[in-house]
C-alpha cells in the first residue's frame, strides 16, 4: 500500500464522505484535508466545518464558488446550446471540472500526496474527477474508497460509524433518493427510479411545482445578452450566479425544468434519473432565440453540428482537454455578435419566446417582408438558384435512376 502523508478529500459532510475521512486515516495513517465547495446546492456548507473538526481534521477548506461556477463553466457551456442525448442539460457533469481543479490546487497549496473523492465505481463522476485531476496534475495519486473498501451499503457505512464513533446525523424522513444539487440543477436517482416504468413520486421534486399546479397567469421576463451571456434580467444587471438563481426561482414557480430520462453512462450502463433544471431550461430556449437573429446561417448550423460532440466531451469528463478547448474557442468566437434582448412567456411548464431584438440583428424586414420590398430582393433570381441546385437530381432522373 502506498505511503500517503496527506490527502485532500472532496468533502460534503454527509455519511459517505464522513466515513471516508476516518477510513483514510485508518487505512493510510495519513492527515486528511477537507474541501467543501458551495456551488449553490441550497444547503448550508458551513456545518461541514464542525463535522470535519470532530473527525480530527486540521486543514479545512470551505469555499463559495457559485460565481466562478456559473461564469466560467455554466455560461461557456450554454453558449453552445449544449444538451446531452437530446434532453440532459449536464448539471452534474459541468460541476466536476471545477471541483477537480480546486482539489489539485489545494493539494499543491498544502503539499498533499493524493486527492480523494466519494464517487462510486459504477458512476460517471469518478471518471470526471480523475480525468480532470490527471490533466491538471499528471503525477497526482487518486484514492477512490468505493473501489477499495467493502462498505457497499448504507447499513455497513452506519455500522462503521458506530464502531468508530463517527458523528453522523441519522435524519428521519430524509429523502431516500441519491441526490446531487448545484445552481444549475438537482438530480434524483435510486429507489423507485431504478424501475424505468415507475413514475416518479410527486413529493420527490424540490425546486419546482407540478405544471398543473403552476399559476394560471403567465409570467413574462426579458433577458439581456452580451456576447452570448446573460447580463441582465428585466433590465436589472446581475452577476452570473445571480442570474441563474433568479431563473431557477421564477422557472420553478411556473413548473419549468423537470425531466425524466434514461441516459447512457460513459462507463457503459444505462441509468434512469430525474432532473430539475428550471433556470437552465429557460437559458437554453432564450439563447437559441437571440442567436436566431444574430448568427449567420452557416455558423449556426456548424454550431449545431458540433454540439453533440461538445456535449459528450463534457458528459464524459473531458472539460480539461485539448478538444474541449478547441471546440470552446470556435464556440466563443461565434458569440461576438450575440447581443440583444429576448422576451419570454413562462406558463405551466412551457417556455415560449415571444420577442427578440438586437442592434446586431441580421433579420432584415425590407427583405423578409411579404409586402412590396421595393426591389431589395429579385424573386426571379430564385429560378436559376433552384435549377442549379436541382441539376444533379435532374441528371440522375434522366439516366433512369429511381428514388
Burial of 395 (0-12, 13-18, 19+ CB in 10 A): exposed
- Tell whether 245 and 201 lie within a shared domain: yes
Helix (H) or strand (E) holding 353: strand 350-357
Domain containing residue 37: 6-65+93-164
Phi, psi of 382 (to 5 degrees): -65, -30
For the question of residue 195 being annotated catalytic, the response is no
Catalytic position from the list 16, 38, 180, 229: 16
- Tell whether 184 and 104 lie within a shared domain: no
Catalytic position from the list 113, 125, 180, 229: 125
- Tell whether 113 and 237 lie within a shared domain: no
Please, which pLDDT band fits residue 174 given cuts at 50, 70 and 90?
A: low
Of 2-6, 88-92, 182-186, 253-257, the least confident: 2-6
- Tell whether 160 and 182 lie within a shared domain: no
Cell 466531451 belongs to 313
Residue 139 resides in a domain: yes
- Tell whether 134 and 226 lie within a shared domain: no
Please, which pLDDT band fits residue 2 given cuts at 50, 70 and 90?
A: low
pTM value is 0.94
Q: What is the mean pLDDT of the chain?
A: 94
List pLDDT tens digits, range 335-344: 999 999 999 9
- Which pLDDT score is estimated for 254? 98
Closest CA to 125 of 148, 101, 100: 100
Determine contact, residues 208/290, Cβ cutoff 8 Å. Answer: no
Q: Is 164 or 174 the better-scoring residue by pLDDT?
A: 164
Cell 505511503 belongs to 3
- Which pLDDT score is estimated for 167? 78
- Which pLDDT score is estimated for 23? 94
List pLDDT tens digits, range 78-97: 999 999 999 999 999 999 99
State yes or no: pLDDT of 368 exceeds 80: no
- Which pLDDT score is estimated for 14? 86
- Tell whether 192 and 132 lie within a shared domain: no
Integer Rg of the chain from CA: 25
Q: Give 183-246 as a DSSP string.
A: SS-EEEESGGGGSTTSPPPGGG--S---GGGS-SS-EEEEEEEETTEEEEETTEE--HHHHHHH
CA–CA distance, 105 with 344 (Å, rounded to integer): 41
- Which pLDDT score is estimated for 350? 98
For the question of residue 343 being annotated catalytic, the response is no
Residue 313 resides in a domain: no
Please, which pLDDT band fits residue 270 given cuts at 50, 70 and 90?
A: very high
Mean pLDDT along residues 275-297: 98
Please, which pLDDT band fits residue 403 given cuts at 50, 70 and 90?
A: confident
pLDDT > 90: percent of the chain: 83
Please, which pLDDT band fits residue 212 given cuts at 50, 70 and 90?
A: very high
Of 44-53, 136-145, 268-277, the least confident: 44-53
Catalytic position from the list 178, 271, 292, 321: 178
Q: CATH no. for residue 202? A: 3.90.1260.10
Please, which pLDDT band fits residue 171 given cuts at 50, 70 and 90?
A: low
For the question of residue 96 being annotated catalytic, the response is yes
- Which pLDDT score is estimated for 378? 83
For the question of residue 150 being annotated catalytic, the response is no
Residue-wise over 22-55: b if at least 16 C-beta within 10 A, else e? bbbbeebebbbbbbbbbbbbeeebeebbebbeeb
List pLDDT tens digits, range 84-139: 999 999 999 999 999 999 999 999 999 999 999 999 998 999 999 999 999 999 99
Closest CA to 121 of 264, 312, 269, 8: 269
- Tell whether 97 and 207 lie within a shared domain: no
List pLDDT tens digits, range 222-256: 999 999 999 999 999 999 999 999 999 999 999 99
Number of domains in the chain: 2
- Tell whether 16 and 125 lie within a shared domain: yes
Residue 369 resides in a domain: no
Residue 172 resides in a domain: no
- Tell whether 42 and 158 lie within a shared domain: yes
- Which pLDDT score is estimated for 389? 95
State yes or no: pLDDT of 175 exceeds 90: no
Please, which pLDDT band fits residue 15 given cuts at 50, 70 and 90?
A: confident
State yes or no: pLDDT of 354 exceeds 90: yes
Residue 386 resides in a domain: no
The residue among 114, 131, 164 that closes a domain is: 164
Closest CA to 320 of 141, 136, 140: 136
CA distances from 385 to 92, 190, 297, 380, 394 (A): 47, 56, 17, 9, 14
- Which pLDDT score is estimated for 170? 59
Q: Is 168 or 274 the better-scoring residue by pLDDT?
A: 274
Catalytic position from the list 22, 66, 79, 96: 96
- Tell whether 207 and 283 lie within a shared domain: yes
Amino acid at each position: 500500500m502506498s505511503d500517503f502523508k496527506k490527502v485532500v478529500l472532496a468533502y460534503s459532510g454527509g455519511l459517505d464522505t464522513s466515513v471516508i475521512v476516518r477510513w483514510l486515516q485508518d487505512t493510510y495513517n495519513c492527515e486528511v484535508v477537507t474541501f467543501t465547495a458551495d456551488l449553490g446546492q441550497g444547503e448550508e456548507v458551513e456545518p461541514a466545518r464542525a463535522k470535519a473538526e470532530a473527525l480530527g481534521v486540521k486543514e479545512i477548506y470551505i469555499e463559495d464558488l457559485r460565481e466562478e461556477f456559473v461564469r466560467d463553466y455554466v455560461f461557456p457551456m450554454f453558449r453552445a446550446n449544449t444538451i446531452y442525448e437530446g434532453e440532459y442539460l449536464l448539471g452534474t457533469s459541468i460541476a466536476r471540472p471545477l471541483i477537480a481543479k480546486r482539489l489539485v490546487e489545494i493539494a499543491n497549496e498544502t503539499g498533499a500526496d493524493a486527492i480523494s473523492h466519494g464517487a462510486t465505481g459504477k458512476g460517471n463522476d469518478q471518471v470526471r474527477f480523475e480525468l480532470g485531476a490527471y490533466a491538471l496534475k499528471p503525477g497526482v495519486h487518486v484514492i477512490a474508497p468505493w473501489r477499495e473498501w467493502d462498505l457497499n451499503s448504507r447499513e455497513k457505512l452506519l455500522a462503521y460509524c458506530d464502531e468508530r464513533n463517527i458523528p453522523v446525523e441519522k435524519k428521519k424522513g430524509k429523502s431516500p433518493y441519491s441526490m446531487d444539487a448545484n445552481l444549475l440543477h438537482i438530480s434524483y436517482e435510486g429507489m423507485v427510479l431504478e424501475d424505468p416504468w415507475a413514475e416518479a413520486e410527486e413529493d420527490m421534486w424540490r425546486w419546482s411545482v407540478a405544471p398543473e399546479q403552476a399559476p394560471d397567469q403567465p409570467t413574462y421576463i426579458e433577458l439581456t445578452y452580451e456576447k452570448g451571456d446573460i447580463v441582465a434580467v428585466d433590465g436589472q444587471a446581475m452577476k452570473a450566479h445571480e442570474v441563474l438563481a433568479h431563473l431557477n426561482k421564477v422557472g420553478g414557480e411556473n413548473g419549468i425544468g423537470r425531466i425524466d430520462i434514461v441516459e447512457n453512462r460513459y462507463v457503459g450502463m444505462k441509468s434512469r434519473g430525474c432532473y430539475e433544471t428550471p433556470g437552465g431550461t429557460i437559458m437554453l430556449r432564450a439563447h437559441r432565440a437571440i442567436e436566431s437573429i444574430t448568427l449567420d446561417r452557416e455558423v449556426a448550423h456548424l454550431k449545431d453540428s458540433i454540439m453533440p460532440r461538445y456535449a459528450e466531451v463534457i458528459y464524459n469528463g473531458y472539460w480539461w482537454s485539448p478538444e474541449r478547448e478547441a471546440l470552446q474557442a470556435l464556440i466563443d468566437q461565434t458569440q461576438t455578435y450575440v447581443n440583444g434582448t429576448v422576451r419570454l412567456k413562462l406558463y405551466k411548464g412551457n417556455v415560449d419566446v415571444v420577442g427578440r431584438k438586437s442592434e446586431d440583428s441580421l433579420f432584415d424586414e425590407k427583405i423578409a417582408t411579404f409586402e412590396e420590398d421595393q426591389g431589395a430582393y429579385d424573386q426571379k433570381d430564385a429560378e436559376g438558384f433552384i435549377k442549379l441546385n436541382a441539376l444533379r437530381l435532374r441528371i440522375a432522373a434522366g439516366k433512369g435512376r429511381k428514388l
